[in-house]
Structure 1
Amino acid sequence: MRRRYLDAMALVQRFGKPDIFLTMTCNPHWEEITRELAEGQSPQDRPDLVARVFKAKLEDLKDLLFKKKFFGEVAAHVHVIEFQKRGLPHAHFLIILKSDYKITNSDQYDEIISAEIPDNDKYPILHDLVIKHMMHGPCGVLNINDPCMENGSCRYHYPRHFAETTQQGEDSYPIYRRRNDGRRVRIRGAVLDNRWVVPYNPYLLIRYNCHINIEVCSSIKAVKYLFKYIYKGHDRASIVIEAAEDDAVINEIREYRDARFISPPEAIWRIYSFNLSEMYPSVIQLQVHLPNMHLVHYKDSEKLEDVVCKGSSSRTMLTEYFRMNSIYSYARNFLYKEFPEFFVWNNSTKSWKRRKQRIQVGRLVAAHPAEGERYYLRILLNHVRGATSFEDLRTVDGFVFATFREAAERRGLIEADCSISDCLSEAATFAMPSAFRRLFATILVFCEVKNVRELWGKHFEAMADDFQQGSATDKESIEQMVLRDISDILYSMGKDISCFDLPEMLDGTELAGSNCREVIEEMSINIDPEHLDLYATLNCEQRLAFDEIMHHVLQKKSKVFFIDGPGGTGKTHLYKALLAKVCSMGLIAIATATSGIAASIMPGGRTAHSRFKIPVNIHDDSLCSFSKQSGTAELLRRASLIIWDEVAMTKRQAVEALDRSLQDITGVLSPFGGKVIVLGGDFTQVLPVVRRGIRAQITDATLKKSYLWRCIKQIKLWRNMRAQSDPWFSDFLLRIGDGTEESIGQDYVRLPDEIVVPYIDPKHSVSKLINDIFPSLGQNGISPSYISTRAILSTKNEYVDELNEKLIDRFPGEEQIYYSFDSAVDDPHNYYPPEFINSLTPNGLPPHVLRLKINCPVILLRNLDPFNGLCNGTRLIIRAFQENAILMQK
């Protein structure tokens, strides 16, 4: 079972997660069965008929799904046959669709799946079939003795909740549409409604007249459960055979038996040699062995000397893979696991040859870390292309390492025991002491350092280098200054130095109290003198907004403003003028934004989630995660002005959480605790992201649907200052945002030819797009201004990855490759192999293989140091890199 499970996981690694889970159960009252029964016979008297008819139905279903492409073109599929305790066969299917046919939104769910009772007047046949085959229970309070009941509740979670629309659920499956439309049916003495309907496809239900459950696998979390489910094996029973004599010695181990019942239909199924499982494409297990440690098969009659002397005895899949790479340059393009897709293994001749027909997926035989060198050999085979020998695998940058482990460490494929210390040692060669201390603090916060004191002692000299050059010469004084600086850095990251095993601060060297420190930091933000002169550059719309907002700030009047303007109308320009004015008066102005990029362009800007401690999982009654006694609360109480940019793209629950929290800490019941709040954004641009949400859910998540909207004063900015030299493009954007531009259907607009790269073929068009956006990349790639003023946006992560691959190939300079160290938490049975986890790229995480070059741009994916502008979304440029450390510049 485990082997088949791992083979199926190899399909997921190659083609992506399953899209559809389908279960089909035999109906013993099919006409094809009942019409062949003799008088007085029942279906259970003819197991041969039951097995053969179900097999015929199954083949028809496979033809419909895979050849006629009922759900779309299928890339891979797995199905197994099981037998119920009453003997009836049923099939479980897992279907992986090709990328063009993926089921991604609720409208597509509703096209193929229904979870409602049909209208009896319009669809009488379907109505009867749903009542007959697709109603669960009754269970729960209606029938506490139902077999599905466990610990007082239904293990299948029936009855489900009513839902007006199909939504993405929190677990593996969507929440299907189950409207409270008043339809009721009486089944087994109970009245049931849509909450009891098992999801089905109307066409398949009518075609096959049996229980046929359809589910969309909407999350990668479903993979482990589904594969374990279809490969769980037959139901088994444990029995004990007791001795008849009272004084007999009972051998409990011998008399304990593990048994299962084989029903007549299953016996017939096996007699007819029908397949119990099927997988497409097939998966071949690839041998992984150390040099001269492979298995050799021979007959008892053969002499060992003759067996050893035979040439075929020394040939294996792995050694022949090496030989093919040394002979053919084409073969060097593939990893060992990719080889079976392009070459066929001939077991009789023990050789590979070019493949001409259907593909086959390769899977390397598993190896446990306790196996040592074989485990590290397997890691290298999963990452190194075109290896020609075992020695070639151990060769990195021209140096032949003695072991596979050393080669894997040198390539960055496994984490060395001293990688954190090595990172600091490498950073010491190019980082200034202040930057080095910041790196040390970042490692304490985000890495699991086992021995902090040892790391401190080893790298203290590099951290204290600038203090040693100053007036202080006493080591204890220097240590206190280093600790003080690291304490400040840790606090800016939201951590306290007491949480880490570092030397203690001496009396009299403590920092300001936690309630005051954030206030001091905010008031110490430097004001750009140029920003104080921005008022004179404001246009009439911006000036009116500035004057009204400042009037409320000076008069300490509570008011919430929303600066509404398309991109380029000068919202950020206005924010900078307000921040400079308020701060110059000795007051506190807090600048935040929804995204890190928007926050980084405002003085002292922080992301709203970082500054206000907004929970990641937000609900309608959530509060911000700071207490009344915290430094954040003290800062917000003293703030005279709070600016939140790009609020249109955040969920209304986040803004409402800030409103409730400010009322709580100030004791004022006015909106936002009586503060002057300036919100900004553009609802014609990006709206809140609701994962797999429909239009109604996305609209409901916007600020306009909040109870706060009625007390917000809108200030419109119309004049596009950024596009004054191109008014046509500005007007075009406004027409699209307002919905007045002529559209194709409801979802598309025609872009003018002047701003479109003509489509000829994918390769040529993408190449021209890159050339137009990044002209002369080879010559200009070293210029920061050239890199920072250009970007290509795309709709899907997979397109972004493809563009990144093409651009990094064109980028000048030497390439450095970094690998992630992925592992599954709470996976003792290794259901998620490392190579499978490596194939995933969840939202917010970089790919497993990260290719970098000097001067290439990167985007930060987490809030490392928000106080210093290192937020999620911050753009950085690579200046230098080593094996464990990267030098980047904003």
Structure 2
Amino acid sequence: MAEAATVQSSARLRNLFVILLLTCGPSNPRQLWESYKESLTEDILIQAHRENPELVLDYTPDMFNQTLIILQDKALGMAGKDLKQLGLPTPQRTLGDRLTREILRETSYNLNDLNEYKSANEPLLLPDQRAAYNAILDRINRKAGGIIFLDAPDGTGKTFVINLLLAKIRQQSKTAIAVASSEIAATLLHGGRTAHSALKLPLNLTQCEAPLCNISKGIGEAKVLQECKLIVWDECTMAHRQALEARDRTLQDLRGNGKLMGGAVLLLAGDFRQTLPVIPKGTMADELKACLKASFLWRHIHKLKLKINMRVHLQGDVAASQFAQQLLSLGDGKIVADPTTGLITIPNNFCNIVDSIETLKTSVFPDIRRCFNDHKWLCERAILAPKNDSVNAINLQIQQQLPGVVISYKSIDTVVDIDQAVQYPTEFLNSLEPSGMPPHSLVLKVGSPIMLLRNLDAPTLCNGTRLCVKGLMPHVIEATTLTGCTKGEDVFIPRIPMVPNDMPFEFKRLQFPVRLAFAMSINKAQGQSLKVADINLETP
């Protein structure tokens, strides 16, 4: 907090303060508040000075109370926790009803803006998009309910159609909920959140025979689900089938309706040619068993399909049309695999194949010493690889080409169960690199692109957000967002404790939740938009 307070605004300090409360569990949060409440309230005092220039003003209890209200709203939005649960004073407020807050989140849209958006974009719908759009609206208007799956290969305008549907429903003063399986995908939807956040899906889906969402009747989330006309779930193909079944049971209970999804319309959107549910240490059979198509609900789902590639249609590019068709053939399994190795041979006209990793790096990041300060250039390119070992090696090699001093941050690793400390010494913990975790030794330079590994403050700081390092301090990283709805904003990233969930024992790593992002795994690239993307298939 001390490092951040010297360089940033009160609004960004408040964001950092809430992230620290929620993720780091400070031992004395009230003392932390007392130490920094003036820095957190400085902009409120400045605004009071502007409104009353003739008065000599100082910090007042009402100003601090206003700051506490802002902090509480932030904490409730991020983690559903109020300040009392976090060890801080409870602010005095007149309209603190959480029911109202949840409903306002889904209904506070400018109707004029929605109408303009709808009027401007409805004429742009392609024939197959319009057919899907009208079919979904017809089901909503008839109050038929049920589940629709929109099969949308890459480039067919799925997000465009979804956002237009959301605008259409909300413009009629009706409730439409937009969720996605990942935070990155959620940031592309108007008012989007992750499915786990919006619907309180249980984290132990696979361990329950009949899981339910953690939403009780009478609370704000329940009221929203009871009134909603449309629920959109983007990138649903990444989700476990149990998540869909839990949602069906919950909606039937909350809405008092035994029909599918309690009579609401659920629009599933995705592409089974892309990433399926990730099952740690699972086989291909485990992934197929977890897929939505394995659910008993799948036979009740009405299927719609988008076929026209928008980029090809708008640009009239013959080469792009051929590439799109080849991608579909690859995803549909139409390219014959070698019966011995199980590998396929990529057609010669499908892509440019290089003979070395050095050529690959140069083709994606040419003249990087001169261009790395151009954030637009940096955010539109990356190298993809199937395994983290390849990703880590490429990242370090490219970062060495940047000018400037290398800063190394060492993590603090400890076992959760103190009785296991002898069995798992610190040196052993330091050597571990579980998936989804930062390394023990995090090596960074100013100007390096990084990717966030945890949801800190959605939608600004969510898992998969790419940023560029602006400043490296002992306890805080200052970075500029490269992607998402807050592109170009400066943010603070603190060290936070993280516990991996795929280890035979529990250990905690205190480290910045980031990795270098010149290269990324293919799974992490899901939902990212890249103009220049090369794939390293040395180890497929």
Range of TM-score over shorter length: 0.7 to 0.9
Q: Say if 1:568 and 1:791 are closer, same or farther in 2 by CA, change over 3 A.
A: same
Deviation at 1:510, TM superposition (A): 4.2
Q: Matches of 1:610 and 1:436 in 2, distance apart? A: 24
Q: From the CA coordinates, give the structure whose radius of gyration is larger.
A: 1
Q: Say if 1:856 and 1:660 are closer, same or farther in 2 by CA, change over 3 A.
A: same
Q: Structure 1 residue 661 and structure 2 residue 216: aligned?
A: no
Q: Structure 1 residue 703 and structure 2 residue 297: aligned?
A: no
> Which of 262, 267, 277 does residue 673 from structure 1 map onto?
262
Q: Structure 1 residue 434 and structure 2 residue 20: aligned?
A: no
Q: Matches of 1:663 and 1:877 in 2, distance apart? A: 45
Q: Matches of 2:74 and 2:477 in 1, distance apart? A: 20
> Which of 37, 40, 43 does residue 463 from structure 1 map onto?
40
Deviation at 1:545, TM superposition (A): 1.0
Deviation readout 1:5-38 (Å, 9 max, x if unpaired):
xxxxxxxxxxxxxxxxxxxxxxxxxxxxxxxxxx
TM-score (structure 1 length as normaliser): 0.50
Aligned to 2:364: 773
Q: Say if 1:510 and 1:810 are closer, same or farther in 2 by CA, change over 3 A.
A: farther
> Which of 63, 73, 76 does residue 478 from structure 1 map onto?
63
Q: Matches of 1:809 and 1:530 in 2, distance apart? A: 45
Please tell me the residue identity of whatever aligns with 1:572.
Answer: T
Q: Structure 1 residue 817 and structure 2 residue 408: aligned?
A: yes
Q: Matches of 2:198 and 2:437 in 1, distance apart? A: 22
Deviation readout 1:338-382 (Å, 9 max, x if unpaired):
xxxxxxxxxxxxxxxxxxxxxxxxxxxxxxxxxxxxxxxxxxxxx
Aligned to 1:514: 98
Aligned to 1:743: 337
> Which of 340, 349, 354 does residue 758 from structure 1 map onto?
354
Please tell me the residue identity of whatever aligns with 1:456.
Answer: W
Aligned to 2:506: none
Q: Matches of 2:300 and 2:330 in 1, distance apart? A: 28
Q: Say if 1:645 and 1:664 are closer, same or farther in 2 by CA, change over 3 A.
A: same
SS in 2 for 1:791: strand
Aligned to 1:370: none
Aligned to 1:80: none
Q: Structure 1 residue 608 and structure 2 residue 195: aligned?
A: yes
Q: Matches of 2:184 and 2:402 in 1, distance apart? A: 24
Deviation at 1:525, TM superposition (A): 5.2
* Contact persistence 1:525–1:604 (CA under 8 A): no
SS in 2 for 1:830: coil
| Alignment map for 1:114-513 (pairs within 5 Å) | 424-471=1-48, 473=57, 475-493=60-78, 494-506=80-92, 509-513=93-97
Deviation at 1:511, TM superposition (A): 4.1
Please tell me the residue identity of whatever aligns with 2:103.
Answer: V
Aligned to 1:596: 183
* Contact persistence 1:660–1:672 (CA under 8 A): yes
Deviation readout 1:538-575 (Å, 9 max, x if unpaired):
10111111112122333433131111021111111111
Q: Matches of 1:884 and 1:627 in 2, distance apart? A: 39
* Contact persistence 2:257–2:263 (CA under 8 A): yes
Deviation readout 1:481-519 (Å, 9 max, x if unpaired):
10110011011012111212323323xx14431222111
Q: Say if 1:426 and 1:858 are closer, same or farther in 2 by CA, change over 3 A.
A: same
* Contact persistence 1:563–1:681 (CA under 8 A): yes
Aligned to 2:381: 790
SS in 2 for 1:592: strand
Aligned to 1:144: none
> Which of 148, 160, 165 does residue 578 from structure 1 map onto?
165
> Which of 505, 514, 524 does residue 108 from structure 2 map onto?
524
Q: Say if 1:461 and 1:583 are closer, same or farther in 2 by CA, change over 3 A.
A: same
* Contact persistence 2:169–2:175 (CA under 8 A): yes
* Contact persistence 1:666–1:673 (CA under 8 A): yes
Aligned to 1:93: none
Deviation at 1:640, TM superposition (A): 1.7
Q: Matches of 1:611 and 1:734 in 2, distance apart? A: 32
Measured on the aligned residues, the alpha-carbon RMSD in Å equals 1.9
Q: Say if 1:536 and 1:877 are closer, same or farther in 2 by CA, change over 3 A.
A: farther
Greater Cα shift, 431-440 or 811-820: 811-820
| Alignment map for 1:702-741 (pairs within 5 Å) | 702-724=291-313, 725=317, 726-741=320-335
Q: Say if 1:512 and 1:557 are closer, same or farther in 2 by CA, change over 3 A.
A: farther
Aligned to 1:799: 390
* Contact persistence 1:563–1:680 (CA under 8 A): yes
> Which of 642, 645, 652 does residue 241 from structure 2 map onto?
652
Q: Say if 1:532 and 1:769 are closer, same or farther in 2 by CA, change over 3 A.
A: farther
Q: Matches of 1:813 and 1:551 in 2, distance apart? A: 59
* Contact persistence 1:563–1:679 (CA under 8 A): yes
SS in 1 for 2:179: strand
> Which of 420, 432, 437 does residue 845 from structure 1 map onto?
437
* Contact persistence 2:150–2:304 (CA under 8 A): yes
Please tell me the residue identity of whatever aligns with 2:410.
Answer: Y
* Contact persistence 2:117–2:167 (CA under 8 A): no
Deviation at 1:687, TM superposition (A): 1.4
Q: Could you tell me which runs of 5 or more consecutive residues in structure 2 were left unpaired when the two chains were aligned.
A: 50-56, 482-540
* Contact persistence 1:553–1:641 (CA under 8 A): yes
Please tell me the residue identity of whatever aligns with 1:783.
Answer: D
Deviation readout 1:572-620 (Å, 9 max, x if unpaired):
1111111122222222221111122111111221111121111222134
Deviation at 1:853, TM superposition (A): 2.4
Deviation at 1:698, TM superposition (A): 1.7
Aligned to 2:524: none
Q: Say if 1:849 and 1:531 are closer, same or farther in 2 by CA, change over 3 A.
A: farther
Highest RCO, 1 vs 2 (Cα 8 Å, sep ≥ 6):
2
Aligned residues: 459
SS in 1 for 2:205: coil
SS in 1 for 2:311: coil
Please tell me the residue identity of whatever aligns with 1:464.
Answer: T
Deviation at 1:816, TM superposition (A): 2.5
Q: Say if 1:753 and 1:816 are closer, same or farther in 2 by CA, change over 3 A.
A: farther
Q: Matches of 1:581 and 1:768 in 2, distance apart? A: 48
